[in-house]
Structure 1
Amino acid sequence: MGSNNVDDPRMPQVGSIVSHPQYKFQVIRCLASGPFSDVYVVRDVNGGHQYAMKTEKQEGNLRPVLKLDVFVLSQLGHHPGFPQLVAAYRTPHFKFAVMQLVGPDLNRLRRAMPAKRFSLSTALKICQQTLKRIETLHDLGWLCRDIKAPNFAIGLGEKDGVVYMLDFGFAKRFRDKNGALLPPRPAAALLGTIHYASLASHMNQEQCRRDDLESWLYMAVELCSGQLPWAKLDPLKHHKIICDWKQFIRVHGREHFFANCPEELDSILAIIDSLAFTDRPHYEMIDYQLQKAVQRLGIDQNAPMDWQLDKRVKEKANFVGELGQSDAASVMMREHLLKKESESRIRRAMNEDEEQDVRTARSPAKMPSYVRTGKEFSLRTPPSHQAPFRRNSP
């Protein structure tokens, strides 16, 4: 995951130390690279805890967003489902923010699923959590303006059932210092991610809370069905066609759009479309529709998420690219798992050899044999053992 920032020697490098007046962080690896910033896994030199560190160049950055990201996160960090901000500082060459480390984002997890979509049980529970995050953000006076699956991620360890909201580089206040709603501007740029953008944004209108929820609805359909109808269209070349699609689904294409989704999402779109610019969204009514779908489908709210049932989903999600290069990811993950399996069998073989030596010195232990496969050495599986990933007979 390289970027121009990572290749710049003035920016953090793996193994280097990034200093803060109260902390020292060692860079472990580059986690993600974007057009505006890079994200690293870092370790607190003193405490040993691992965190995420987002960096941004001091100069030459086309669109600085880290300061805004930090400001919003500092107000949100104490609310459930938002990463805790640990530290923020600047050096002569870059700004950085250190925050709670989270797991794979929802887009990577979805693409890591066998059918490229979540079960309805998991999708609906994600929708409930992400709706709550958006409501929290709005109640603090902020719009996100970039709601999409990659901007939500799951927690680590025991918190892997919690969905966290990330990335507030496009956030905007919609109230003034006295709490009054800011009036809409005559025209506004098309911001965010075009595949998820609202109709108003396509038409260069000022965004409001309704628009965040419209983007959320597109994300919800994607989580349930696996793909939006316009997913394969180039957003830069075909943004007008994508806009046409979003108008079409409100008239003749509605049934096609919600074909693989709970029928309640159709009702939710109607609720969202009924909102005026100044209206506070009916979050409770939308959540009621989600809960209605959960009950109608007989979903257990306490059931594990898809990635909790199959741990391989999280492993594969770590290899899936931003654009979803799932075939390459499958190969990479297979190599990763084969390497882990090989190492595990080597350890077992060595332990067995040691035990055999203890039992009898007259029968020398047989060393495992190796075959060369590409650039890796793997253990040749003895006939008496099952080959990796071969299912046992029932």
Structure 2
Amino acid sequence: MSASLVAHRYRTHKRLGAGSFGEIFVGSDVNTGLRVAMKFEKHGLRCPQLRHEYKVYRELQGCRGVCKVQYYGTHNNFNVMVLDLLGPSLEELFTKCGRRFSLKTTLKLADQMLERCEALHGRHLIHRDVKPANFTMGDASSSPLVYCIDFGLSKRFRNPHTLQHIPHRVGKSLTGTPRYASISNHLGIEQSRRDDLEAVGYVLVYFAKGRLPWQGLKAKSAHKKYKLILDKKQEISIAQLCHGCPAQFAEYLSYCRSLKFDASPNVAYLRRLFRDLYSTSGHDVAQIAANDWDWMANADVRVDATTAQAYGARPDTAQARRATSARPGARPARPQSASAQRPANEEQFYAPPGRSASRGYDYGGDRYASRRPRTATARVGETDPERRWAARGSREAPAQPARRERPQSAAAAPSYQQRPSASSRSGGRGGDDGAHVVAGARSMMGLARARSARSAGGGARPRTSSRG
């Protein structure tokens, strides 16, 4: 099925990549002709996430900067979610702009990112994975608008009916991307609104300076690396972290770190910090949402270009793309492993020590941050997800074949027939395997007594040592 039709309306086209959830495709609505993004998740996964993400999107429908969910349902052996098609992520735009944004673009992004967090918190949800890759630009018709995506780790921080805040708990697993995680998140404290805002602060420093002090740390294991990142975050002061940035950056982070667990952040105050800085830098605040970003001057960056990263997916490797486009009908080269596909500077999700590396829930119902992606072993560019999943198989362990009893050899088989004795047949443990064992032992004793009787009565020649 080269162009699978979902819900008699959405047709798959180009495969963008794969992620922890499954695979994502560019598709189209056959009724309107508009392009869409289609996420596929295989049925029967131990910890499915697509339905959880769909519920969060449904909660956020109508919020500014949240893409519209057009369809959720099942198709063959897959859960499918159809979304509006968006543009590239901020991480990709950051890379294409030389890994540094101007102060103007950084402040414009700060205003919209804080607005998205405020809207999310207003719906009683926290994101728990704030990072540049989870903010994207819109398509060509809405390119000035920044979108927030990938709500797979989101959860409620309070009851929407009673407004009761979740309890303060410790001993939690690190959830999110370590590079941008808050100090409280590293320490195993339950996340709340303050953690999303602290992560936004790290992202803004990253945009303004080009890197964070805890990038590139080497360790023998992921757990040790997280410990090094935490030590660095605690060791370096806010003034040192924000050195070279305007004072408002340090003021922002100081405010976020001073918040209590269940505090309601004053997002309007934080947005005003950056808006005032935008104004004093010689820019018109009324034009803070204008479409005059750094990448607009870069002809190589297409804002309406769709990327796998914009939907939390890992793009196909260049090696596999070259292999499939080399010549028609040629067998593609085997795609690289997940570790080979991962950029050297990318902070990836890992399961906490002692946990499975597949994404799931802990006993409290909280999603922990394990996102080891699957690597496709079928043809890259194949538009039929079912054939590709069949090629690489399910993630679950294969069912063990029924164990068959090993037949005994002729030499090992007993020379007598084990039959239950009369007492065992009439005695009351009929049907129990133990009765047959006892009966077999008694028959052996009977054979021995019969041989002794034949020897004593002359019925058989006695075995003696004399040869007379």
Q: TM-score, normalised by structure 2?
A: 0.61
Bigger Rg over Cα: 2
Q: Which amino acid aligns with 2:116?
A: R
Q: Which amino acid aligns with 2:99?
A: K
Q: 2:17 corresponds to which residue?
A: 32
Query: Of 236, 251, 254, which residue of structure 2 is paired with 1:270?
Result: 254
Query: Of 136, 152, 167, which residue of structure 2 is paired with 1:169?
Result: 152
1:104-144, Cα deviation, whole Å (9 max, x unpaired): 0000000011x311111111101100100000000110011
Q: Is the 8 A contact 1:146 1:212 kept in 2?
A: yes
Q: 2:108 corresponds to which residue?
A: 125
Cα distance between partner residues in 2 of 1:124 and 1:32: 31
Shift of 1:60: 3.3
Are positions 1:103 and 2:87 aligned together?
Answer: yes
Query: Of 228, 247, 262, which residue of structure 2 is paired with 1:241?
Result: 228
1:34-68, Cα deviation, whole Å (9 max, x unpaired): 1223221111122211111112111235x422111
Are positions 1:58 and 2:28 aligned together?
Answer: no
Give the SS at the match of 1:96: strand
Are positions 1:68 and 2:55 aligned together?
Answer: no
Cα distance between partner residues in 2 of 1:255 and 1:216: 17
Q: Is the 8 A contact 1:145 1:212 kept in 2?
A: yes
C-alpha distance 264-103 of structure 1, shift in aligned 2 (>3 A) = same
1:303-334, Cα deviation, whole Å (9 max, x unpaired): 511122323233798789899xxxx99xx9xx
Query: Of 41, 49, 52, which residue of structure 1 is paired with 2:34?
Result: 49
Query: Of 126, 131, 143, which residue of structure 2 is paired with 1:160?
Result: 143
Cα distance between partner residues in 2 of 1:162 and 1:87: 23
Give the SS at the match of 1:195: coil
Q: Which amino acid aligns with 2:294?
A: D
Q: 1:307 corresponds to which residue?
A: 295
Query: Of 51, 59, 63, which residue of structure 2 is paired with 1:79?
Result: 63
Query: Of 290, 293, 298, which residue of structure 1 is paired with 2:277?
Result: 293
Q: Is the 8 A contact 1:175 1:181 kept in 2?
A: yes
Give the SS at the match of 2:165: coil
Q: Which amino acid aligns with 2:191?
A: Q
Q: Is the 8 A contact 2:87 2:138 kept in 1?
A: yes
Q: Which consecutive unaligned segments of at least 5 residues does structure 2 have? A: 322-468
Q: Which amino acid aligns with 1:51?
A: V
Cα distance between partner residues in 2 of 1:310 and 1:65: 37
Cα distance between partner residues in 2 of 1:300 and 1:294: 8
Aligned length: 307
Shift of 1:186: 3.8
Shift of 1:199: 0.8
Cα distance between partner residues in 1 of 2:156 and 2:249: 28
Shift of 1:249: 2.6
Q: TM-score, normalised by structure 1?
A: 0.72
Q: Which amino acid aligns with 1:128?
A: D
Cα distance between partner residues in 1 of 2:304 and 2:81: 27
Give the SS at the match of 1:104: coil
Relative contact order, higher structure (CA 8 A, sep 6+): 2
Query: Of 180, 190, 210, which residue of structure 2 is paired with 1:206?
Result: 190
After TM superposition, the structure 1 = structure 2 runs for residues 182-221 of structure 1, keeping only pairs within 5 Å, are: 182-221=166-205
Query: Of 62, 75, 78, which residue of structure 2 is paired with 1:91?
Result: 75
Q: Which consecutive unaligned segments of at least 5 residues does structure 1 have? A: 1-12, 333-394
User: Which consecutive aligned stretches of 4+ in structure 1 deviate over 6 angstroms post-superposition?
Assistant: 315-323
Cα distance between partner residues in 2 of 1:47 and 1:321: 26
1:238-260, Cα deviation, whole Å (9 max, x unpaired): 1111001111233xxx3442134
Query: Of 224, 232, 237, which residue of structure 1 is paired with 2:216?
Result: 232
- Percent identity of equivalent pairs: 32
Q: Which amino acid aligns with 1:103?
A: G
Q: Is the 8 A contact 2:26 2:37 kept in 1?
A: yes
Q: Is the 8 A contact 2:13 2:27 kept in 1?
A: yes
C-alpha distance 123-40 of structure 1, shift in aligned 2 (>3 A) = same
Give the SS at the match of 2:15: strand
Query: Of 146, 150, 164, which residue of structure 1 is paired with 2:129?
Result: 146
C-alpha distance 317-229 of structure 1, shift in aligned 2 (>3 A) = farther
1:251-306, Cα deviation, whole Å (9 max, x unpaired): xxx34421342221100011111110110011011111111211221134435111
Are positions 1:19 and 2:2 aligned together?
Answer: no
Give the SS at the match of 1:40: strand
Q: Is the 8 A contact 2:89 2:309 kept in 1?
A: no
C-alpha distance 320-117 of structure 1, shift in aligned 2 (>3 A) = farther
Q: Is the 8 A contact 1:142 1:174 kept in 2?
A: yes
Moved more, 143-152 or 29-38: 29-38
